Amino acid sequence: MPITPTEKIWMNGELLPWEDAKIHVLTHTLHYGMGVFEGIRAYQTDDGPAVFRLTDHIVRLFNSARIVGMEIPYTVDELIAATKATVASTGLEACYIRPLAYKSSEVLGVRVHDLDDDLLIFVAPFGPYLDIEKGIRCQTSSWRRVEDVSIPARAARSSPPAPARFEMTTAMRASRRPSATASMIACRLLPRPEIRMPRAFTWATSTCQQG
């Protein structure tokens, strides 16, 4: 889905103009895919945009970082405040929010230690992920989920297992056939293991006021 640029991107502690939020071509994550992220939604309400389960998403971001050996240089509360400020800076009534922690050191080498960890947050308008008016058709993927003992599959990483990418491409190509009249999504042959959520998880939203 194409992304519409907004006014600001939060990057390493400050709001930058969209066109100024850049990284170097030698950034470690660009070469080795070591990063973690969240995909969050803010919805329009009478009190302004409300971010769905913001605290829970940020806590999960920290959990993903811990699993892959990253140290996010901010607190949960600081990132909650940064997310709200980024949403408010755009003036959008509803949007998609993407916080991304990444290895920013400009070096080569297959490792995760002795590297700088940085973080960015961008928001953008984002419509429905699937066209539910047409219904949804499913297919079973021939790709299998990678075992947890092979890679940290429980972390929301910027380099997800290759099967996830192949599954989506396979499903989308199949949906473009003349006989397909609805969106199609992929289903793994092996279900994901059960992940128990902490009791502290709630269905709360956080409002973002434009300052």
Residue 91 lies in a domain: yes
pTM over 0.85: no
80 and 175 share a domain?
A: no
Residue 110 lies in a domain: yes
Q: Poorest-confidence range of 16-25, 118-127, 130-139, 143-152?
A: 143-152
| Domain carrying residue 68 | 8-127
Average pLDDT over residues 70-98: 95
Residue 179 lies in a domain: yes
Q: Poorest-confidence range of 3-17, 55-69, 186-200?
A: 186-200
Nearest to 38 by CA among 137, 115, 123, 105: 123
Is a pLDDT exceeding 50 seen at residue 196? no
The first and second tokens of residue 186, run together, are: 């992929």
Is a pLDDT exceeding 70 seen at residue 13? yes
CATH of residue 18's domain is 3.30.470.10
Residue 192 lies in a domain: no
Alpha-carbon distance of 96 to 81, in angstroms, equals: 16
DSSP E strands, the chain: 8-11, 14-17, 35-37, 40-43, 50-52, 95-103, 117-124, 136-140, 183-187, 205-207
Query: How much is the pLDDT for 203?
Result: 44
Total number of domains in the chain:
2
Residue 198 lies in a domain: no
**What phi and psi values does residue 29 have, to the nearest 5 degrees?**
-65, -30
**Cβ proximity of 50 and 90 under 8 Å:** no
Query: How much is the pLDDT for 77?
Result: 97
Helix axes 76-90, 54-67, angle to 10 degrees: 120
Is a pLDDT exceeding 80 seen at residue 79? yes
Residue 85 lies in a domain: yes
User: Helix, strand or coil for residue 183?
Assistant: strand
Higher pLDDT, 124 or 205: 124
